[in-house]
Amino acid sequence: MNEMVTIENTEMQIREYEGQRVVTFKDIDTVHQRKSGTARNTFSRNKRHFVLGEDYFVCETYEAKNMFGITAPNGLTLLSEQGYLMLVKPFSDDLSWAVQRQLVNSYFRQQQPVVEQQKPQLTPEEVVDWKLNDLHKRVKELEGDKSDKLTLIDLKLNDLHRRLKALEQEKPAKFQGLGRLTPRKDTWYEKNRSRIWRIRYDKDIELKELYHIILEECGKYYDLEEAERLYRGQNGRGFIYPIDVVEHFPELQEIANQVLDYFEM
């Protein structure tokens, strides 16, 4: 869908997903005339209040490209009318009030009946092939740049994780044997991977420096040497990396999350 709508003299593309109109973070920043990244950062800080499938959706990379022409290696977040209104609640300037009124009346509530969603109907094998091709192209772009080695590794792990999730949901016959395995619970790092790497590049800070700050804050409230002794007693070995102490103790994860919140402000 390439139709456009004008909101306060700013053109915005009409987007529909799962049978309803949605907006991207970039759409919100543009029509509200906010600095790029404002909507995304606001969402990240308050994500616990948003309900997936109701306030926002995350479409796959191939969906973003095929449906909206947007390249989104980590998937594309789309906000419903309710999610949009929750996100812009802190925006109280005159322009924001006018934009909110027009978006609600002229965009979200002017939706035409949707003819069977444009969502591409692909088999699980076609989805995996598409993702592999996309990964290959992105890997080629990064090859040769030594400064991006860690990014390349993270990119591959992210893509592998998404492909395995897709296969697990579709459960083709040849993979059904994996059903007896116990799914691994996401670690603190997995849950905060995108935040950590975004902070690394936005704030131009090395990972080891960010981890040092996190451990330094944790050490202000808890005895990390005692934490390692407890860990060793429970697991029969010490930490592989110093930051592993955060993965093991929920109390330290709370402090680590506050450090990430601070850097995203």
Count of domains observed in the chain: 3
**How is residue 205 written in tokens?**
């800070």
The first and second tokens of residue 231, run together, are 């860990």
| Distance separating alpha carbons of residues 11 and 5, to the nearest angstrom | 6
- Per DSSP, the three-state class of 236 is coil
Identity of residue 172: P
Q: Does a structural domain hold residue 115?
A: no
Q: pTM of the entire structure?
A: 0.44
Q: Residue 40's pLDDT is what?
A: 94
| 90 found inside a domain | yes
Q: What is the CATH number of the domain that holds 87?
A: 3.10.260
Q: Tens digits of per-residue pLDDT, 63-80?
A: 888 888 899 888 899 999
Residue 74 structure tokens: 């980590």
**Is 118 inside a domain boundary?**
no
Q: How many other CB atoms sit within 10 Å of the CB of residue 131?
A: 18
Q: What is the largest CA-CA distance in the chain?
A: 64
pLDDT value at 62 more than 70: yes
Q: What is the pLDDT of residues 93-102, one digit of tens each?
A: 889 899 999 8
Expressed as residue numbers, the domain containing 21 is 4-110
Q: What is the mean pLDDT of residues 133-144?
A: 59
Which of residues 60, 80, 110 is at a domain's end?
Answer: 110
82, part of any domain: yes
The residue that leads in pLDDT, 244 or 40, is 40
Section 46-64 average pLDDT: 91
Most confident of 58-67, 105-114, 168-177: 58-67
Cα distance between residue 219 and residue 214, in whole Å: 9
| Average of per-residue pLDDT values in the chain | 78
Does one domain contain both 166 and 200? no
